[in-house]
């Protein structure tokens, strides 16, 4: 599996796991462990192989300059959420510690998605095709 396909898989899997955990109140241990393992693997892959994000030629000005820093911030939020949930699962922190971190991650992820939706529809740079699975490309 290529790094691109693995990143796409982790991108959508982590989103679904966050939504499942928020719906369930982070009580399902299997889902919570899957999130911790998947999130840790994704952050580790980004640290060792680098991020796969590029601003694209149509993104200009301060958004272009801050593009990589916004993504680094998302990785920091993901890493902190993984650490808090992992620590709670191991027993180092109270069991419900990861709740607020999940809400912050979901909020940051929503803003991230809206930004890329804006890029895709206003700048017409195909931003949603970068992380969308291939079967969705015809729709976009």
So what's the pLDDT on residue 37? 96
| pLDDT surpassing 80 at residue 25 | no
So what's the pLDDT on residue 74? 95
List of residues 6+ apart from 68 with CB closer than 8 A: 51, 53, 55
With vertex at residue 8, the alpha carbon angle to CA 69 and CA 13, rounded to the nearest 5 degrees, is 100
What is the tens place of the pLDDT at every residue in 65-97?
A: 999 999 999 999 999 999 999 999 999 999 888
* Prediction pTM value: 0.90
Q: Could you state, in order of their start, the residue ranges of all structural domains in the chain?
A: 3-136
What is the tens place of the pLDDT at every residue in 28-50?
A: 789 999 999 999 999 999 999 98
């Amino acid at each position: 599996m290529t790094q691109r396909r693995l990143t796409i898989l982790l991108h959508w899997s982590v989103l679904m796991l966050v939504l499942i955990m928020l719906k369930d109140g982070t009580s399902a241990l299997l889902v919570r462990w899957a999130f911790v393992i998947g999130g840790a693997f994704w952050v580790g892959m980004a640290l060792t192989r680098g991020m796969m994000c590029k601003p694209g030629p149509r993104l200009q000005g301060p958004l272009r300059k801050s593009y990589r820093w916004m993504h680094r911030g998302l990785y920091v939020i993901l890493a902190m959420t993984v650490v808090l949930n992992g620590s709670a699962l191991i027993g180092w922190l109270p069991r419900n510690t990861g709740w607020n971190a999940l809400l912050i991650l979901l909020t940051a992820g929503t803003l991230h998605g809206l930004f890329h939706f804006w890029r895709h529809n206003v700048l017409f740079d195909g931003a949603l095709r970068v992380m969308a699975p291939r079967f969705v490309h015809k729709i976009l």
